[in-house]
């Protein structure tokens, strides 16, 4: 069986959201985003999402505040934010990371908040 749904997405040409992330490959069940050299920032307001997120830190340092806990994220670390968990991020040093969400955060130009 030949699968013709295989695609390549170059981050150089990926659309960027108003929050700064680049949308990478997106399928029916999972999508990827790239946060690239995000500058240090104050904590963003806490939120809950209707999708699960896993991520991997490529460079920089951030804090993940989740359900009353604080997790420091550095290069080589990975993390998970379960669906519905209250969380926020605070970037301490220019931060580059890739995230995958399921179901997809972004589908056909529509952001899932």
CA angle, 32 as apex, 72 and 95 as ends, to 5°?
A: 35
pTM across the whole model: 0.84
Q: Where are the domains of the chain?
A: 33-106
Confidence of residue 105 (pLDDT cuts 50, 70, 90): confident
Mean pLDDT of the 64-87 span = 97
**Which CATH number describes the domain made up of 33-106?**
2.60.120.10
Mean pLDDT of the 59-86 span = 97
Tokens in use for 97?
Answer: 């990371």
Confidence of residue 110 (pLDDT cuts 50, 70, 90): very low
Tokens in use for 82?
Answer: 């379960």
Answer whether 91's CB lies under 8 Å from 74's CB. Answer: no
Residue 102 and residue 35: Cα distance in Å, rounded?
17
- Helical ranges in 1-113 per DSSP H: none
Residue 109 and residue 113: Cα distance in Å, rounded?
13
pLDDT tens digit sequence for 16-70 = 877 778 888 888 899 999 999 999 988 888 999 999 999 999 999 999 999 999 9
Residue 24: the pLDDT is 87
């Amino acid at each position: 069986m030949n699968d013709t749904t295989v695609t390549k997405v170059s981050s150089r040409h990926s659309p960027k959201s108003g929050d700064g992330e680049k949308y990478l490959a997106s399928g029916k069940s999972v999508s990827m985003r790239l946060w690239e050299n995000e500058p240090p920032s104050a904590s963003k307001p806490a939120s809950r999402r209707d999708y699960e997120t896993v991520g991997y830190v490529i460079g920089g340092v951030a804090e993940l505040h989740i359900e009353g806990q604080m997790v420091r994220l550095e290069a080589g670390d990975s993390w998970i934010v379960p669906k519905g968990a209250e969380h926020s991020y605070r970037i301490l040093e220019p931060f580059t990371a890739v995230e995958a969400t399921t179901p997809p955060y972004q589908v056909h130009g529509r952001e899932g908040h």
